[in-house]
Structure 1
Amino acid sequence: MGSSESDETLETYGAEIGTRSRSGSRFREWVLIEADRVLIAAIISVVVFFLLLVLHRLGIVSFVNPNSVTRVASGMIAGTFSLVTLVVSINQLILSQEFASAGKAQERLDSVIDFRRTVADETGATASPVSPTKFLELLIESIARDAEALAAAVDDHDEAVRRAIVLYTNAVQAECERIDETLEHTSFGTFRAVLAATAYDEDWQLHVGAHLRNAYDDSLSPTATERLEELHESLKLFHVAGEQFKTTYLQRELTRFSQLTVYAGVPSILSAIFIGLLYADVTGPSISIAALPYVTIGLIVVVLSPLALLVSFILRTTTITRRTASAGPMLPQKAPEEGPFDVIDGD
């Protein structure tokens, strides 16, 4: 732990995971996470409209063959029904989690109250805030305070021990400052709180804290050990809070997606039917040939609107789920050889 290589890794490894949102382009992050999902769905629909229009202008696709268009319309009707059925099934799955007997409802309420009480006791607050962002701010302040107390508790320790602990606490405090700045510009909503929680790498900090506790167990004073345990508990509380907010957000997001898909499903099916009716006349399409491509393309875009909603919502939910796919200090984002050190007996 005393080598410059280990020191550099200890300082940078956690921040590397915590800065996922800065590793890609700003536009990519805006599309995947930040933008409103309805806006992304609308952009997808506009792109499809102009794509079909360009393909038509280039002569690659045509809308004059009644048999081909009606077959496509029939397939779109069947696909829309399947998509709406799938969304209804997802909505039923979400609702099933909300149904509970009196005993289960009481148990769920007690667990939330106990957690909020634990947070209040750990942070020294009279009561934990109800706002998700304020709740996380309180935990971030507690983590930073515990890290500062831990650094102060090792002032009189050996140089190797003190250096390792201070490197760790400096990394924790720097991360806390970064997240605290983010939370200061964050509104009340659960989604913004989830974004802030995913940007904080408490898993790595728990991992390093456990390693330091095991590596220097005989060298740490009782006070330093106690401060390290307090920091460990604060990090655990932050992790649990982040998971709770993520669960709440995903439930609300999938419910909103189900609602919007049902809204878009009815005009989608009607548009697909109308496409077939346009070509139902034995004499050919019932509107002029000049306007037919534009009308058909517009109707196709309406038919595909539920699919556009599906793509926009799944992009965000899967991105957030992937970035938070860990349970405590288990780091699937990194290969084992990329860690800051190997935690093995005698290391």
Structure 2
Amino acid sequence: MADAEDGREIIDRTYDPSADDDAAVATANTMRERAGESRLKLWILLDANRLVATGVLAGTFFVLLVVTGIALDPPFLSTVASGDVLDTMFSTMASATITGVTLVVTITQVVISQELGPFDDQRARMSGAMDTREYIRELTGLDAAPADPSALLSSLVAAAQVEAANVADATAKIDDEDASEELSSFCDSLSENADVVLDRLHGAQFGTYDLLSAALDFNYGRKVFEVDRLLARHADAIDDPTSAALNDLRDALVMFGPAREHIKTLYFQWALTSLSQLVAYAAVPALLVSLSMLAFVDAATFTGSIAGVNNVVWVTMLALTVSLLPFLLLLSYVLRIATVAKRTLSIGPFVLRDSQR
């Protein structure tokens, strides 16, 4: 078994707060910068309106289906005329639509079940919420903790910015030039990040991704780590007022974590219930189109061509695209929810992405 000295050596080798790590102070703040991925990919996964994203997916599917129908050999028209391709295709789509709606209803039931409970459980939830709001009121110095989600997050970001300014003021009295310079650099970086986030939070409405996106751009976890690192690295140089200011800053940053996670949880519930409604709405035309294609359409129903492409190809591929709408809605929402969940798996100063390691 390794002795205490061996264990200490492993700890020192893993993390040395006195090491030269100036780059850590300037770590990327916004999620786009931390992601290290293309703007187009992040727009599709996160920023785009989910209905717009669904439309883009539907258009892409339609074009690919038409191109595939044109490229088939033998031609799609002869394939339809010689067999029961349309019946097989759209009976499958009708069954998939019904199954998909059932799945989404199940998801809705899971989301709603989290809000159900006996009276004492609801009272405990209320008590915890009010205790947290009282702590936020004391932390921010406001008369009352804001009720609006964007205002609540803004108050915590503003509190961190104020405490960072207090740290900067206290740092000016430190004799150690290295400590003073690094603390000032950290405070400037935090203040700049806070300005950007506060601008984005202003007027952001709950239920839209804009609010959550702005909250994700405040890299609070890394900032908590930086406060701890600076306190340890410059323990001899930092005086009591600076240490107290850093600890107050740490408290404001730490409180932002559960506040953001709470807003994220509420957004997920909101998005999933909205998804359930939209899928139910989209299922009606999707099912109607699938059943109509089963009952009324065959190779002789649509004759002629447009732009050199048989009309049966246009009609069939458009009907397939409409039948896919419930699935495409589900896909667009799940892509955003899964991406946000993956990027916020941990709470606090815990780095999971290689780009920030």
TM-score band, normalised by the shorter chain? 0.7 to 0.9
Structure 1 residue runs of 4 or more that deviate by more than 4 Å after TM superposition: none
User: Residue 243 of structure 2 aligns to which amino acid in structure 1?
Assistant: T
- Indicate conservation of the 8 Å contact 1:10/1:167, yes or no: no
Of 50, 53, 56 in structure 1, the residue corresponding to residue 66 of structure 2 is 53
Q: Secondary structure at the match of 1:19?
A: helix
Distance 2:33 2:145 in 1: 28
Which stretch shows the higher mean deviation, 87-96 or 155-164?
155-164
Structure 2: stretches of 5+ with no match in the other structure = 1-16, 305-310
- TM-score, normalised by the number of residues in structure 1: 0.86
Residues 68-217 of structure 1: pairs in structure 2 closer than 5 A: 68-157=85-174, 158-184=176-202, 186-190=203-207, 191-217=209-235
Residue 300 of structure 1: aligned partner = 320
Q: Please give the per-residue CA displacement for 1:281-318, whole angstroms capped at 9, x wherever unaligned.
A: xxx64613434333222221121111110111112112
Q: Secondary structure at the match of 1:304?
A: helix
Q: Please give the per-residue CA displacement for 1:30-80, whole angstroms capped at 9, x wherever unaligned.
A: 322222212221222222223222333334561524322222222222322
User: Residue 39 of structure 1 aligns to which amino acid in structure 2?
Assistant: V
Distance 1:17 1:55 in 2: 38
Q: Please give the per-residue CA displacement for 1:3-52, whole angstroms capped at 9, x wherever unaligned.
A: 8x632x0332243767347x544443332222221222122222222322
Q: Please give the per-residue CA displacement for 1:59-113, whole angstroms capped at 9, x wherever unaligned.
A: 4561524322222222222322222222111111101101121111111112222
Q: Judging changes above 3 Å, is the alpha-carbon distance between structure 1 residues 17 and 87 closer, same or farther for their aligned structure 2 residues?
A: closer
Distance 1:188 1:17 in 2: 20
Cα offset, 1:221, TM superposition:
2.2
Query: Number of paired residues?
Result: 329
- Indicate conservation of the 8 Å contact 1:20/1:199, yes or no: no
- Indicate conservation of the 8 Å contact 1:45/1:301, yes or no: yes
User: Residue 163 of structure 1 aligns to which amino acid in structure 2?
Assistant: E
Residue 295 of structure 2: aligned partner = 277
Q: Please give the per-residue CA displacement for 1:220-260, whole angstroms capped at 9, x wherever unaligned.
A: 32222211111011001111111111111110001100111
Residue 247 of structure 2: aligned partner = 229
Cα offset, 1:2, TM superposition:
8.2
Distance 2:352 2:186 in 1: 21
- Indicate conservation of the 8 Å contact 1:150/1:227, yes or no: yes
Of 332, 337, 340 in structure 1, the residue corresponding to residue 352 of structure 2 is 332
User: Residue 82 of structure 1 aligns to which amino acid in structure 2?
Assistant: T
- TM-score, normalised by the number of residues in structure 2: 0.84
- Indicate conservation of the 8 Å contact 1:278/1:285, yes or no: no
- Indicate conservation of the 8 Å contact 1:261/1:309, yes or no: yes
Cα offset, 1:218, TM superposition:
4.4
Structure 1: stretches of 5+ with no match in the other structure = 340-347
Residue 271 of structure 2: aligned partner = 253
Distance 1:124 1:210 in 2: 24
User: Residue 58 of structure 2 aligns to which amino acid in structure 1?
Assistant: S
Cα offset, 1:122, TM superposition:
0.7
Residue 47 of structure 2: aligned partner = 34
2:331 matches 1:311: yes
Which stretch shows the higher mean deviation, 140-149 or 165-174?
165-174
User: Residue 250 of structure 2 aligns to which amino acid in structure 1?
Assistant: H
Q: Judging changes above 3 Å, is the alpha-carbon distance between structure 1 residues 155 and 288 closer, same or farther for their aligned structure 2 residues?
A: closer
User: Residue 126 of structure 2 aligns to which amino acid in structure 1?
Assistant: L
User: Residue 62 of structure 1 aligns to which amino acid in structure 2?
Assistant: F
Distance 1:122 1:269 in 2: 54
Which stretch shows the higher mean deviation, 148-157 or 112-121?
148-157
Residue 13 of structure 2: aligned partner = none
2:21 matches 1:15: no
Distance 1:31 1:76 in 2: 26
- Indicate conservation of the 8 Å contact 2:29/2:217, yes or no: no
Q: Secondary structure at the match of 1:13?
A: coil
- Indicate conservation of the 8 Å contact 2:286/2:323, yes or no: yes
Distance 1:235 1:120 in 2: 15
Which stretch shows the higher mean deviation, 44-53 or 86-95?
44-53
Which stretch shows the higher mean deviation, 61-70 or 313-322?
61-70
Distance 2:104 2:289 in 1: 20
Let me know the Cα RMSD of the aligned residues: 2.4
User: Residue 321 of structure 1 aligns to which amino acid in structure 2?
Assistant: A
- Indicate conservation of the 8 Å contact 1:18/1:200, yes or no: no
Q: Judging changes above 3 Å, is the alpha-carbon distance between structure 1 residues 246 and 330 closer, same or farther for their aligned structure 2 residues?
A: same
- Indicate conservation of the 8 Å contact 1:77/1:269, yes or no: yes
2:76 matches 1:62: yes
Distance 1:110 1:160 in 2: 46
- Indicate conservation of the 8 Å contact 2:157/2:198, yes or no: yes
Distance 2:108 2:128 in 1: 25
